[in-house]
Amino acid sequence: MNRTDPIKRFHIDWSDLWAGARGGLRQHPEALARSIEALWPSPGRALACLSVRSGLDLMLSALELPVGSEVLVSAITIPDVGRILKEHGLVSVPVEVDYDTLAPSMSELERLSGSRTRAVLFAHLFGARVNLSPLAEFAQRKGLLLWEDCAQAYVGDDYSGHPKADVAFFSFGAIKTMTALGGALLSVRDPSLRDAMAQKQARLPEQSSRAFRAKCVKYALLKSATHPLAYGALTAICSSINYPRSALLSAATRGFSDANLLAQLRLRPGAPLLSLMHRRLTSGCGDSVLARKALGDRMRERLGVSFRVPGAHADYHSYWLFPVLAARPNDLCQYLEARGFEATATATRLGCISASENHPEAEAPTTRAWMSQVVYLPVYPELGEDRFNQLCAALVNYSSGSSN
């Protein structure tokens, strides 16, 4: 049977899935939430939520910014961020992101900020972490709120958000590091804002325990399907019926559908989810993140000048995803798939946010251009040394033109 190594492996053990399916019995969600929040390195700041999207919606509901207020947003984010901002009457203004450092363009921030600007929302990408001190100084000088999206940057207690960020968002969604198949922790600097958000969340309906347990079963099946041999069989089946495997898995791992988005977000986390979050947070992820980082550094060194790696000069990189830039992304994906490695340009819902009608000049053309060349590679410790070497060799051969 042919082997195919998937683009990512779920960062969760079988014992965690079993614990999630049976967790939270006879436990109160409020008590579980308090115990989780007490674990956070910044005392008194943490708020447990259903998801980062839910936390963003809660924060905006509590702040009640004037309709038409503008938010400077990293050009690369998920579409739901723009949708949630729009639902609250806010205008997203995309800001260029440098591919080499993944930092925002400070000159673009200066150019695009204006009298209606109220906040900056910056997203750390691919597992890299940017030094936000220049951005924090900019926000303070302009009198703007600073929101830090750390959904892809969680590496345990090592980082709990920039000290000057007004709110930092951390995700434990299905494909994230230390996944709890959902859930988020927000670090909120202003105690009165945190309390207002907590009060609003307390009035929301509770997440269905049955639905979360069904989710644990679904991800047990998906975890089985991402074993290289099982994934090879899935690849063969999808190819035989001319169905894109990436579309199948993308749909299976999406946390929220496009329809009625806010109704899905406006729930408070239930006991099973909170129980699994507590278990994951107390088990730690240091060794696995260090192993992934070491492998990512090795891959970057092995590729040398063969491929440009976004974030290669970021202040810190844990390689939650490993992207490279390719002039012909589809050709590279097909070449690697023929050798048993999944590579894709759609590993996540990340993309370039569109400019608003109010700011047609904020198209972030440079960021849009390099993002159109991104290909995500399967680089993680479970790959094994032999397959890692085979992947490196295949990439170097492709780059040198000796792929035939």
3-state secondary structure the chain: CCCCECCCCCCCCHHHHHHHHHCCCCCCHHHHHHHHHHHCCCCCCEEEECCHHHHHHHHHHHHCCCCCCEEEEECEECHHHHHHHHHCCCEEEEECECCCCCCECHHHHHHHCCCCEEEEEEECCCCEECCCHHHHHHHHHHCCEEEEECCCCCCCCCCCCCCCCCEEEEECCCCCCCCCCCCEEEEECCHHHHHHHHHHHHCCCECCHHHHHHHHHHHHHHHHHCCHHHHHHHHHHHHHCCCCHHHHHHHHHCCCCCCCHHHHHCCECCHHHHHHHHHHHHHCCHHHHHHHHHHHHHHHHHHCCCCECCCCCCCEECCCCEEEECCCHHHHHHHHHCCCECCECCCCCCEECCCCCCCCCCCCHHHHHHHCCEEEECCCHHHCHHHHHHHHHHHHHHHHCCCC
Q: Tell me, what's the pLDDT at 225?
A: 84
Rounded to whole angstroms, what are the CA distances from 19 to 13, 24, 213, 311?
10, 9, 10, 36
**Digits of tens for pLDDT over the chain (404 positions)?**
578 888 888 888 999 999 988 887 778 899 999 999 999 887 789 999 999 999 999 999 999 999 999 999 999 998 899 999 999 999 999 999 999 999 999 999 999 999 999 999 999 999 999 999 999 999 999 999 999 999 999 888 778 899 999 999 999 998 899 999 999 999 999 999 999 999 999 999 999 999 999 999 999 988 888 887 787 777 677 777 766 666 656 666 666 767 788 999 999 999 999 999 999 999 877 688 899 999 999 999 999 989 999 999 999 999 999 999 999 999 999 999 999 998 988 766 777 877 766 676 768 889 999 999 999 999 999 999 999 999 999 999 999 875 54
Beta strand pairing call for 316-317 and 128-129: antiparallel
Give the pLDDT of residue 352.
80
Residue 76's φ and ψ, nearest 5 degrees, are -100, 115
Angle made by CA atoms 334, 374, 382, in degrees to the nearest 5: 70
AA identity, residue 147: W
pLDDT of 404: 44
CA gap 88, 99 in Å, rounded: 30
Q: Residue 204: what are its φ and ψ, rounded to 5°?
A: -80, 155
Instruction: Answer yes or no: are the C-beta atoms of 347 and 324 closer than 8 Å.
Output: no
Q: How far is CA 161 from CA 9, 123, 157, 167, 277, in A?
A: 26, 12, 10, 8, 19
Alpha-carbon gap, residue 99 to 117, rounded angstroms: 25
Of 71, 91, 255, nearest to 166 by C-alpha is: 71
**Cα angle vertex 24, ends 40, 256, to 5°?**
75
pLDDT of residue 243: 63
The pLDDT value given to residue 57: 97
Return the closest-CA partner of residue 76 out of 139, 146, 3, 151. Answer: 151
Residue with tokens 């891959």: 299
167-171 and 184-188 beta bridge pairing: antiparallel
Nearest residue to 76 (alpha-carbon basis) of 282, 374, 404, 281:
374
